[in-house]
Structure 1
Amino acid sequence: MEAKEGDGAEGGAGGVVVQVREKKGPLRAAIPYMPFPVAVLCLFLNTFVPGLGTFVSAFTVLCGARTDLPDRHICCVFWLNIAAALIQILTAIVMVGWIMSIFWGMDMVILAISQGYKDQGIPHQL
């Protein structure tokens, strides 16, 4: 966490505004920013067949979907998404993969919503 000082960061009652930024690992940062309907489809697929939506989302990277790994080659990001899908499929037997798959799908939808706000020029914080 980092506290911002100056620039009007102090509240009216003498408080300090704290800004928190999430640090993503390579697998999580490889989740592509997709159009909203595609993200919802991937969430639906991940809910009923763990890893299938993640597998489909890997191909959106090859179609030009942006990720939080701009310095990595497209093929590397593609294979990171395939690896995430395989992890979800293989660990679905013990329910861990199924839960991970659903959360992965929810992250896809959240990223699609945040990208929609950025495309429209509307400031948005999740």
Structure 2
Amino acid sequence: MHEAIPFLPVPVAITCLLFNIFIPGSGTIISGFSALCMGQPRINMKEGRKLITLVVNLLVGISQFFTITFLFVGWFWSIAWGGLLIIHSMQYREALQQRRQEAVATAAIEALTKDSILHRRDVKTLVKSHKKSKK
């Protein structure tokens, strides 16, 4: 069931937590729908990952709402679920930033190691040769 907590953008995860604080279960349901269009599911399946994430979050959200009357279990559960949303979203954001940095570093190394770039003349000599060719 914990795998159903999707990776969402951090502002969306914070919004879902706030909804879970005020109306338990509502933020969980919103997170399920948000996973369809702007999030990434964490479920390890080949097909139907987003649909399963939606259904599980919908069922968990309804369960959170209906267990409010039982010693506020649903309220605490929904706040914990919202906190996990934020934690997973921040971890996902950090992983994306690290992947982007690695991609930029790889591209820079590839650009520097190509023979055509290493053997090019510097800009000053190119400008001088261009001026000479015009004269």
The TM-score, its normalising length taken from structure 1, stands at 0.71
Greater helix share, 1 or 2? 2
Q: One-letter code of the match for 1:99? A: F
**Residue matched to 1:39:** 13
Report which of the two structures shows the higher radius of gyration computed on alpha carbons. 2
Identity across the alignment (%): 32
2:38 and 2:81 mapped to 1: Cα distance?
19
1:1-126 aligned within 5 A: 27-71=1-45, 73=48, 74-94=50-70, 95-121=72-98
2:14 and 2:80 mapped to 1: Cα distance?
12
- Provide, for residues 82-121 of structure 1, a one-character-per-residue CA deviation record: whole Å limited to 9, x for no partner: 0110110010112000000000000000011101110110
- Provide, for residues 8-59 of structure 1, a one-character-per-residue CA deviation record: whole Å limited to 9, x for no partner: xxxxxxxxxxxxxxxxxxx211011000000000000101110010010010
The TM-score, its normalising length taken from structure 2, stands at 0.67
Aligned pair count?
96
Which secondary structure state, in structure 1, belongs to the residue aligned with residue 5 of structure 2? coil
Gap regions ≥5 residues in structure 2: 100-135
